Amino acid sequence: MKTWATVLAVIAAGALGCGLRPAAAQTKASAKSFDIIDWNGGKFLYGVDYYPEHWPESRWEQDAAMMQAAGINFVRLAEFAWVKMEPAEGQFDFAWLDRALKVLNAHGIKAVLGTPTASPPAWLYAKYPDIAAMDENGVRYRFGSRRNYCLHNPNFIAATQRIVTAMAMHYRNHPGVIGWQIDNELGDPICYDPNCRAAFQRWCRSKFKTLDGLNKAWGTIFWGHTYTSWSEIPLPWNTLFHAHNPSLALDHRRFHSESTRDYLKLQADLLRKLTPGKAITHNDMGLYDNYPMFGEDYSNSLGVGLAHDLMRGSKGNQNFMVMEQEGGLPGWNTFWGRQAAPGLFRTWAYQGVAHGADGICYFRWRTSRYGMEQYWQGILDQDSYPNARYQVVSQTGKELAQLADLLKGSKVVSPVALLVSPDSRWAFHIQPLVKDFDYNRQLGLYYAGFRRAGVSVDVVFPESDFSSYKILVAPSLFVTDQKLVGKLTDFVKNGGTLILTYRSGVKDEHNVVTNQTLPGPLAELAGIEIHDFDPHTNQQQEVAGPDGVGRPARVWFDILTPTTAMPVLSYSKGYYAGKAAMSANRFGQGRVYYVGTELTAEACLEGAKREARGLGIPLGPELPQGVEYAARVKDGKRILFLLNYTEKPQSVILGEAWRNALTGEPEPAEVNIPAFDVKVLVNP
């Protein structure tokens, strides 16, 4: 299961920037000066995930030649090859990997090596069965899948240090190895074994110092769950009715996130020390490794855009790399995703670039003949035929090589930021709101509103600096603390526009409900009070503004009583018909909107346009459905990307004259984008 918020919090907490940075330049200041495109000799990093150990050595040369012909200049290797590199405890064999590197390097292809800890060998489980994670019923997962380990198991930590050290020492001076990927899609599973329980108890002790402090913060007086010794503190495991104290459960999420971060840091510290000069990255899961046809909404290019922006945000808005870009039909043992038109494999690569990627790595070079992923297509099928996907990937490789100089040093610049709160997301996971509520969808709605209006959006976190933005959208900001409220207040006082939505300000940092009038610590800022709310059950609600036009509303209805705010929309139905559903409040130099319900995508687009216009933020062109408009900026000039995800040609009217960055030709005012194609445009 993919739980991006776990790793997101790990990264937001600063353990490691996503994407690549040189190991020697991990501080914020120096990381800024690092350009991914400089990292492989000024080339756009264009790669594939390659598993030479799955194929006869006699095939490697032909693979490398085909990669080179497609413009591939790096491969990710070895992230599941622990048993090949350490076939028995403490005995190492890198000869096969050396040979593979030699073949690849001879074709100008460098390598990012994966530390293989996501896939420990069978012999390790046989010798130390307790390295396997334990489920909440107290049963250890059996050997057979991957990522099955306990982060607090001393034997697993020792084995990690041994393999990472051995790899680092062997490849520290290898010119064909440009960096490391640590583990693979960190985050799961959560382990409930005695080591993890003891570690959680230590974590609680270090956080709360006294049991009295913990008991008060968690409200353990409820049901008389007061702890009288640290050793009584449980994990949120298999209880009757799955009942857990939400405060304990949120702290447990934080504990797991920090444990994951510490594990990542353990490896990162070793690699930095032993291989200075090599870069370090990770392939974050869910919203980062990029499989558009695997999600629930296959056509949701905006969702993919949000995923890219979220990852750029986790690096403090620096450019990033996509370590796994969909290279073929996704499918596991028991299910299939959807096949994409070959052209989309190029359009998606450009979409990553448009959102700030300076490197794209396709998963995988060739579909496996073996194991769980026989259905998960690579670029090539098992027969290695240079199929349509290979042709498209080759075209893309040539183009990105051509665009490297133009792209170098350019970045996404956004007037709007979307505040993602991992604490709120976890809290909603622990206590789901109503069946229809989805925190990610809330993010997506407002994100899509601005993006469809042609306005770039950055993703920020509670720790980020908000001061450069004109608009900050904080959907369903359920969990807050004083520090965050102070930052939001300063942002608005200094002229920012803040958009809050329903169920904001409900919980304190311990996941305890506020005893202030809702929206709690945000009430003064929003200029409203909420004395009643209506979780949507079966009524069709509508909201209307001064124009009297009804707009559908759903999921949740906060019934607002404006204090200093003005009503913007009111409910049309039910016992609270006529009461405010949305408000606007002037505060300091800025303004706060509170949207007490879930509006439609069209209403969010309409609102985004109106607000951007009002603040002098330029809007993009009118866009046909299925066409994306995005921009990177370099030396004050924009590089435009028009991406057509549909099977029909589309056209977009741009007000100014633009030149095609690939052909050098001027584009007409009405730019035509063929089906599944892309236009990259620069000012003449």
598 belongs to the binding site for ligand GLA (CB under 6 A): no
The structure tokens listed for 654 are: 């741009």
CB 585 within 8 Å of CB 525? yes
In the annotation, is 324 catalytic? yes
CB of 326 to ligand GLA, least distance (A): 9
In the annotation, is 89 catalytic? no
Alpha-carbon span 683 to 657, nearest angstrom: 7
Question: How do beta strands 650-653 and 670-673 pair?
Answer: antiparallel
CB of 20 to ligand GLA, least distance (A): 17
CB of 71 to ligand GLA, least distance (A): 23
CB of 643 to ligand GLA, least distance (A): 23
Which of 3, 148, 153, 184 touches ligand GLA (CB under 6 A)?
A: 184
Closest to ligand GLA by CB, 62 or 145: 145
CB of 344 to ligand GLA, least distance (A): 17
Closest to ligand GLA by CB, 368 or 395: 368
Name residues contacting ligand GLA, limited to 631-670 (CB under 6 A).
none
Name residues contacting ligand GLA, limited to 185-244 (CB under 6 A).
185
Residue 225 phi, psi (nearest 5): -90, 30
376 belongs to the binding site for ligand GLA (CB under 6 A): yes
CB of 2 to ligand GLA, least distance (A): 9
53 belongs to the binding site for ligand GLA (CB under 6 A): no
Closest to ligand GLA by CB, 283 or 394: 283
Alpha-carbon span 303 to 286, nearest angstrom: 11
Written as one string, the DSSP assignment of 535-560 is E-SS--EEEE-TT--EEEEEEEEEEE
Site string for ligand GLA, 440-479 (x = CB under 6 A): ----------------------------------------
* Cα 527 → chain centroid: 33
CB of 304 to ligand GLA, least distance (A): 14
CB of 184 to ligand GLA, least distance (A): 5
Closest to ligand GLA by CB, 73 or 283: 283
Residue 641 phi, psi (nearest 5): -125, 125
Cis peptide leading into residue 189 (ω within 30°): yes
**C-alpha dist (Å) from residue 264 to 15, 30, 179, 282:** 7, 21, 15, 9
CB 569 within 8 Å of CB 580? yes
Cα Rg of the chain (Å, integer): 26
Name residues contacting ligand GLA, limited to 264-283 (CB under 6 A).
283
Question: How do beta strands 45-49 and 627-634 pair?
Answer: unpaired
Which of 63, 289, 598, 677 touches ligand GLA (CB under 6 A)?
A: 289
The structure tokens listed for 48 are: 């594939």
CB of 443 to ligand GLA, least distance (A): 21
CB 569 within 8 Å of CB 560? no
Continuous segment of H or E residues that includes residue 592: strand 590-595
Continuous segment of H or E residues that includes residue 431: none
* Cα 346 → chain centroid: 21
125 belongs to the binding site for ligand GLA (CB under 6 A): no
Alpha-carbon span 638 to 627, nearest angstrom: 18
CB 681 within 8 Å of CB 394? no
363 belongs to the binding site for ligand GLA (CB under 6 A): yes
Question: How do beta strands 497-501 and 21-22 pair?
Answer: unpaired
Closest residue to bound ligand GLA by CB = 289
CB 544 within 8 Å of CB 572? yes
Residue 388 phi, psi (nearest 5): -65, -35
Closest to ligand GLA by CB, 296 or 547: 296
Continuous segment of H or E residues that includes residue 440: helix 439-452
Residues ≥6 apart with Cβ < 8 Å to 96? 52, 53, 57, 84
Closest to ligand GLA by CB, 283 or 541: 283
Closest to ligand GLA by CB, 289 or 458: 289
The structure tokens listed for 119 are: 């896939």
Amino acid identity, position 560 = L
Q: Which of 61, 86, 136, 324 does the annotation list as catalytic?
A: 324
The count of other CB atoms within 10 Å of the CB of residue 258 is: 17
Which of 324, 358, 458, 558 touches ligand GLA (CB under 6 A)?
A: 324
Alpha-carbon span 1 to 6, nearest angstrom: 12
Closest to ligand GLA by CB, 333 or 589: 333
Closest to ligand GLA by CB, 114 or 415: 114
Closest to ligand GLA by CB, 361 or 682: 361
Q: Which of 61, 89, 136, 185 does the annotation list as catalytic?
A: 185
44 belongs to the binding site for ligand GLA (CB under 6 A): no
373 belongs to the binding site for ligand GLA (CB under 6 A): yes
Alpha-carbon span 228 to 225, nearest angstrom: 10
The count of other CB atoms within 10 Å of the CB of residue 212 is: 11
Closest to ligand GLA by CB, 324 or 508: 324
CB of 114 to ligand GLA, least distance (A): 9
Amino acid identity, position 457 = V
Written as one string, the DSSP assignment of 267-285 is HHHHHHHHSTT-EEE---T
CB of 359 to ligand GLA, least distance (A): 16
Number of residues in contact with ligand GLA under rule CB under 6 A: 8
- Enzyme catalytic residues: 185, 324
- Residues near ligand GLA, by CB under 6 A: 184-185, 283, 289, 324, 363, 373, 376
